[in-house]
Structure 1
Amino acid sequence: VGDTLGYGPTWGQPGGLLVSSQHTLLPVFLQDSTGYHFCGGSLISEDWVVTAAHCGVRTSHLVVAGEFDQGSDAEDIQVLKIAKVFKNPKFNIFTVNNDITLLKLATPARFSQTVSPVCLPNENDDFPAGTLCATTGWGLTKHTNANGPDRLQQATLPLLSNTECKKFWGNKITNLMVCAGASGVSSCMGDSGGPLVCQKDGAWTLVGIVSWGSGTCSTSSPAVYARVTELMPWVRQILEAN
Structure 2
Amino acid sequence: MAVSFVLLLLFVFNGADGSHIVGGRDAPSHSRPYMASLQVGGQHICGGALVREDFVVTAAHCRVPGTYTVVVGADSLTANEPSKQEFGAARLIPHPQYDPVRVRNDIMLIQLNNRARLTEEVQLISLKADRVTARSRCLTAGWGTIDDNDTLPRRLQEVNVTILSTQACRRRWGQASITRAMICGRGARDFQGFCFGDSGGPLVCDGATAGVVSFSGRRCGDPRTPDVYTRISSFREWITTVINNS
TM-score (norm 2): 0.83
Q: Does 1:165 align with 2:169?
A: yes
Aligned to 1:74: 81
Which residue pairs with 1:120 in the alignment?
127
* Letter aligned with residue 91 of structure 1: Y
CA displacement, residues 140-173 of structure 1 (integer Å, 9 cap, x when unaligned):
456x564231211000101111101112213421
- State how many pairs are aligned: 220
Q: Which of the pair is proportionally richer in helix?
A: 2
Alignment match of 2:97 (pick from 60, 66, 90): 90
Alignment partner, residue 48 of structure 2: 41
Between the aligned partners of 1:102 and 1:59, the Cα distance in structure 2 is 16
Do the aligned residues in 2 keep the contact of 1:59 with 1:83 (CA within 8 Å)? no
Quick one: which of 180, 204, 212 aligns to 1:209?
212
What residue in structure 1 maps to residue 5 of structure 2?
none
Give, in whole Å, the separation in 2 of the partners of 1:73 and 1:151.
12
| C-alpha contact (below 8 Å) 1:159/1:180 kept by paired residues | yes
> What are structure 2's unaligned runs of at least 5 residues?
1-22
Q: Which of these residues, 2, 18, 29, is aligned with residue 37 of structure 2?
A: 29
Equivalent of residue 139 in structure 2, options 128, 134, 140: 134
Q: Secondary structure at the match of 2:242?
A: helix
One-letter amino acid matched to 1:180: G
Does the Cα contact within 8 Å between 1:59 and 1:84 map onto a contact in 2? no
With over 3 angstroms needed to count, the CA separation of the structure-2 counterparts of 1:5 and 1:53, relative to structure 1, is: same
Q: Which consecutive unaligned segments of at least 5 residues does structure 1 have? A: 8-20
Q: CA RMSD in A?
A: 1.9
Q: 2:101 aligns to what SS in structure 1? A: coil
Question: Which protein, 1 or 2, shows the higher relative CO under an 8 Å CA cutoff with sep ≥ 6?
Answer: 2
Is 1:237 aligned to residue 244 of structure 2? no
Counterpart of 1:128, as a letter, is T
Q: TM-score, normalising length from structure 1?
A: 0.84
Superposed CA deviations along residues 18-51 of structure 1, whole A, max 9, x for unmatched, are xxx44x4531011112x00001110001011101
Distance change (3 Å), C-alpha of 1:2 and 1:87? closer
Distance 1:216 1:115, change over 3 A: same
